[in-house]
Structure 1
Amino acid sequence: GRAGVSLATLLVLADGRLPAGGHAHSGGLEAAVAAGRVRDVEDVGEFLRGRLATSGLVCAAFAAGACARTEKCFDLDAGLDARTPSAALRKASRAQGRALLRAGRAMWSMPAIGRDPHHPVALGALAAAAGLGPLEAAVAAAHGAVTGPAGAAVRLLGLDPYAVHALLARLAPDVDRIAARAAARANDPVDELPAAGAPLLDIGAELHANWEVRLFAS
């Protein structure tokens, strides 16, 4: 770890047991499973790699940016709106951001960043409040981009959890790479931050939002 940065604090922030509602979201996996695009561990791996390279990179860059400039998060929030074509995904992101801030305020002194910020903005602000830097914020965001859907895959497909965690272990270097790439952009103007799109996730989210019965909120 870098001097002055607590790795234990990063683990608290990235812990899937943090009471911020992350377990209620599949990161688009439920829609992909229903569409028949994800059926086994190999498919889950491909889904996670694609998600990490697109929405994972964007979330990591915006989390790093929010951590680097907590007092100027409002433009980042608007930038994420512009990068999220799906209204359902915007709603899910803000719901997760709101829940994360609620959990964060119980642990650290949080600045005012708006009532319902997007999840990556809330994550970056929380990382800063915890004494972490942009790289750690990016790591937490990139990590969450794959662990959330991976956990959902076990529930949706009845997969072997050992096999799924082995997959996450193999993806760890990719998570590190994406996080480092995102953190290097932390101080870029909002319009120059990554804008990698994932149209199937957007389409799936809109379809998923209209289901009468579903296991996950998104």
Structure 2
Amino acid sequence: MSTPPDIRKPEAPGPPATDPCPPGAAAGVTGRPAARAALLVLADGRFPAGGHAHSGGAEAAVEAGRIRDAASLEDFCRGRLHTAGLVAAGLAAAAAAGLDPLVLDEAADARTPVPALRTTARRLGRQMMRAARAAWPCPELDALAAARPRGAHQPVVLGVAARAAGLVPGDAAHTAAYESVSGPTTAAVRLLGLDPFQATAVLARLAPELDGVAQQAADAADRALLEGVDALPATSAPLLDIAAERHADWPVRLFAS
């Protein structure tokens, strides 16, 4: 006698697994090709995230005589890249990797010791949130905006926005690291009347170091997935902190920070 066929009713498929802000297909420093244009949009200086109103400390440095020409601008940007830029890149990469943005926002507070820079970071975060929610609508961005109505730290918002755009942690790290030097460079052109060709050459010379900082930040974000936020960079720049507090008290200034 033959064995009867299996006539059990197949189980109904469950709901598909969803990610509120699905990341890119692969981890690492570069994103999947389909997201490459999104990276260009996010890193574009014309992205309406409010960065044009901030000098990243360059205005105070010009007034103090620490930025005088292209060579001193390069020195300033190099120092900023390896301190504040590395911290921002690590936070952005971790947010893009899917770490809890509220936990990262607290970690950003701990890594930003002076009130002036915390205020600036949250103001820029609020503006970036508006632009990111318009460009890449995402429940995770909505939830962060609701939890931090006065603004989360800008690198954290940047990382969540990168995730919403289909980018990977390394993309977010590159964007944050680039912003840390492009802002002061652009500001120096206005503050000093610096030749824009020389300013662009500064950014080009810093490109290899920027790649290295982005990779370091992405690697730290990978470790943070296992070890927590203490694995993220926490480098300091005391002179930037002091200058930011003094700059905030200026009665007249060209840039907000």
TM bin (shorter chain): over 0.9
- 2:91 and 2:34 map into 1 onto residues whose CA distance is 20
Q: Which runs of 4+ in 1 moved over 4 A?
A: none
Contact 2:94 2:159 in 1 (8 A): yes
Match of 1:73 among 101, 106, 111: 101
| Alignment-mate amino acid for residue 58 of structure 1 | V
Question: Residue 5 of structure 1 contacts residue 132 of structure 1 at CA under 8 Å; is this kept in 2?
Answer: no
Q: CA deviation at 1:37?
A: 1.1
1:128-165, Cα deviation, whole Å (9 max, x unpaired): 00000100000000010110110000001110000110
Distance apart, 1:6 and its partner CA: 1.9
1:109 offset after TM fit, Å? 1.4
State the AA in 2 paired with 1:177: G
TM-score w.r.t. the length of structure 2 is: 0.82
State the match for 2:42 in structure 1.
Answer: 13
**Matched AA of 1:65:** A
The answer to whether residue 52 in structure 2 is matched with residue 23 in structure 1 is yes
Unaligned runs of 5+ in 2: 1-29
Q: In 1, are the aligned partners of 2:92 and 2:155 still within 8 Å (CA)?
A: yes
Change (3 A) 1:2 1:66: closer
Tell me, in whole angstroms, the C-alpha distance in 1 between the residues paired with 2:153 and 2:247: 20
- Aligned residue type for 2:160: A
Within 2, Cα distance between the matches of 1:209 and 1:55?
Answer: 18
3-state SS, counterpart of residue 184 of structure 1: helix
Q: Does 2:74 align with 1:39?
A: no
Q: Tell me, yes or no, if the aligned pair for 1:89 and 1:205 is still in contact at 8 Å.
A: yes
Show the 5 A alignment for 1:3-152. 3-69=32-98, 72-110=100-138, 111=140, 112-113=143-144, 114-115=148-149, 116-152=151-187
SS in 2 for 1:195: coil
Q: What is the root-mean-square deviation in Å for CA atoms of aligned residues?
A: 1.1
Deviations 1:42-95 (A, max 9, x none): 00000000000000000000000011115x111111111111111000000000
For 1:37, what is the secondary structure of its paired residue?
Answer: coil
Aligned runs of 1:196-215 on 2, under 5 Å?
Answer: 196-215=235-254
- 2:174 is aligned with what amino acid? V
Contact 1:5 1:133 in 2 (8 A): no
**CA distances 1:79-127 after superposition (whole Å, capped 9, x unpaired):** 1111111100000000000000100111111311132110000000000
In the TM superposition, what whole-angstrom CA distance separates every residue of 1:167-202 from its partner, at most 9, and x where no partner exists?
111111111110011001114111221100000000
For residues 66 and 205 of structure 2, what CA distance do their matches in structure 1 show? Answer: 21
Inter-partner Cα distance in structure 1 for 2:256 and 2:58: 11
**Which residue is 1:163 aligned to?**
198
Which sections of structure 1, spanning at least 5 residues, go unmatched? none
Note if contact 2:31-2:168 (Cα within 8 Å) is conserved in structure 1. Answer: no
Shift of 1:3: 3.6
Residue of structure 1 in register with 2:208 after alignment: 173
Q: Shift of the alpha carbon at 1:5?
A: 4.9
How far apart, in 1, do the equivalents of 2:185 and 2:74 lie? 9
Identity of aligned residues (%): 57
